[in-house]
């Protein structure tokens, strides 16, 4: 149970801190409104790194907080016994993290009459809507995430420096791909909060969770993670990482 509880709490923290950055810089009357892309990049990197530090000690094993990473780990290890439970815990954690933010920022959400801005605090959207390229963007970003995380030396975890490297990967992906689709790379970070937005956010008359796009950050990251894990296994079998 510690694995599932760790994934739930870790993903809740990830969304609370990560989407909290988006709320902080985008919602009306926030003291940090207009903080910009660099604020978001740094904040989201920290939002991933902090739970990784905390929950790895709690569970005694690497934590993912991301279905794509969880599936990638299962492909590399061959152990699928906890995958379904981890993904459920991650999705519930993402939903609850977004729900807490809606309470904390309730007055600011009410002051922000543009539904698209409110939705954008909890889920991603493309800067140019192009289904094929939007899918490819999320695929490539998550491929980079899962593949590079796979290559972090295991010994790095002994000193916890591996979680600092996770921060670097998240910030690098955001800096390189964030302007395309918001670099969701994670259904628990996008799909679960999108559902929370649909169910819990106030309706100013044009509320739209945008599922015509929303399926992409749910599906493309998993596809990118699978390909990254398969490539890792192929290269490992060829002795590339000896």
Whether the model clears a pTM of 0.85, i.e. scores above it, the answer is yes
Looking at residue 61, its pLDDT comes to: 57
The half-sphere exposure of 124 on its side-chain side, counting CA atoms within 13 A, is 32
CA distances from 51 to 64, 99, 155, 200, 238 (A): 10, 18, 20, 25, 34
pLDDT at 153: 66
Angle between helix axes 131-151 and 216-237 (nearest 10 degrees) is 40
> How far is it, in rounded angstroms, from Cα 36 to Cα 192?
24
Q: Where are the domains of the chain?
A: 2-237
What topology is assigned to 2-237 in CATH? Glycerol uptake facilitator protein (1.20.1080)
Joined together, the tokens standing for residue 8 give: 């739930």
Check residue 225 and give its pLDDT. Answer: 97
End-to-end CA distance of the chain: 34
pLDDT per residue, tens digit, the chain (242 aa), is 889 999 999 999 999 999 999 999 999 999 999 999 999 999 999 999 999 888 876 665 567 899 999 999 999 999 999 999 999 999 999 999 999 999 999 999 999 989 999 999 999 999 999 999 999 999 999 999 999 988 886 555 455 567 788 889 999 999 999 999 999 999 999 999 999 999 999 998 889 999 999 999 999 999 999 999 999 999 999 988 76
């Amino acid at each position: 149970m510690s694995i599932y509880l760790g994934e739930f709490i870790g993903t809740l923290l990830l969304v609370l801190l990560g989407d909290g950055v988006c709320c902080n810089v985008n919602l009306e009357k926030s003291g940090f409104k207009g903080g910009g892309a660099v604020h978001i990049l740094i904040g989201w990197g920290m939002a991933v790194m902090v739970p990784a530090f905390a929950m790895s000690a709690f569970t005694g094993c690497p934590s993912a907080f991301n279905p794509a990473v969880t599936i990638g780990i299962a492909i590399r290890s061959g152990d699928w016994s906890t995958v379904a439970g981890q993904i459920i815990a991650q999705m519930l954690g993402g939903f609850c993290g977004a729900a807490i933010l809606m309470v904390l920022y309730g007055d600011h959400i009410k002051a922000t009459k543009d539904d698209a801005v409110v939705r954008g605090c909890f889920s991603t959207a493309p800067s140019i809507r192009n289904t094929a390229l939007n899918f490819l963007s999320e695929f490539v970003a998550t491929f980079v995430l899962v593949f590079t995380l796979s290559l972090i030396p295991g010994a790095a975890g002994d000193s916890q420096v591996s979680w600092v490297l996770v921060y670097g990967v998240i910030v690098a992906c955001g800096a390189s791909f964030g302007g395309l689709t918001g670099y969701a790379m994670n259904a628990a970070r996008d799909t679960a909060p999108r559902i929370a937005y649909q169910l819990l956010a106030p309706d100013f008359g044009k509320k739209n969770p945008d599922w015509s796009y929303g399926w992409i950050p749910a599906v493309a990251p998993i596809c990118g993670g699978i390909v990254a894990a398969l490539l890792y296994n192929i290269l490992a079998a060829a002795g590339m990482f000896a």
